[in-house]
Amino acid sequence: MPRPSRLVPGVVLFIVLALGDAPARAEVTAQPLTAWTITHVVTLPGSPERAWDAATGDLAPWWDHTFKPNPSRLVLEPWAGGGFHEIWNDAGEGVQHATVTWAERGKRLRFEGPLGLAGEGILLVTTWDFAAKGDSTTLTCTAKLAGAVPSGFEKAVDQVWAHFLTGRLKPYVESGKDREKQPLKRP
């Protein structure tokens, strides 16, 4: 003889409550889902390790989009499980933009998180692949986004990555200022 399921009474209770006289307590709004991939390629002077070190650790010299002006720390920790943090004060208030899921110095850095899209219903996976090209490095940025995103939003994300990579990181490395900072080491 089959055993009665413990799930059935719970489901019945849920249905009774849902169909009863209780007023609705939430507004449900449908949002269309979308997915897309954006790829940018930029050539940076120097070795892949130099490009990696410039692009990670303290980002304040070249990353200029933050939730609050002048955060006390803006850092991308280049190790598996590391975070992309914007810390606003000594109390540790701030935001974690992403978590590093792949870290191979001078070769690949992958981080998952909404970056500036915190609070949206999305999944954003960003991969930076570094490859030697003569005395330079090719950095290929692939950003894959899926979720509830307004139509045309991919154009804005594309422009932001162009701004960061071509407009900010590349001139920073070409100026040689990246050589002034120490690579971030895991504590």
Q: Could you report the per-residue pLDDT of 144-182, keeping only the tens digit for each?
A: 999 988 788 889 899 999 999 999 999 999 999 999 998
Q: Residue 13's pLDDT is what? A: 44
Which of 53, 123, 59 shows the shortest CA–CA distance to 85?
59
Give φ, ψ of 114 to 5 degrees.
-75, -10
- Residue ranges and CATH numbers for the domains of the chain are 32-180 (3.30.530.20)
Q: What residue type is assigned to position 92 of the chain?
A: G
CA distances from 116 to 26, 72, 119, 151, 172 (A): 27, 17, 9, 17, 21
Dig out the tokens for 55 from the structure. Answer: 């692009």
Residues 6+ apart with CB under 8 A from 181: 53, 57, 58, 61
Under-50 pLDDT residues of the chain? 5, 11-13, 15-17
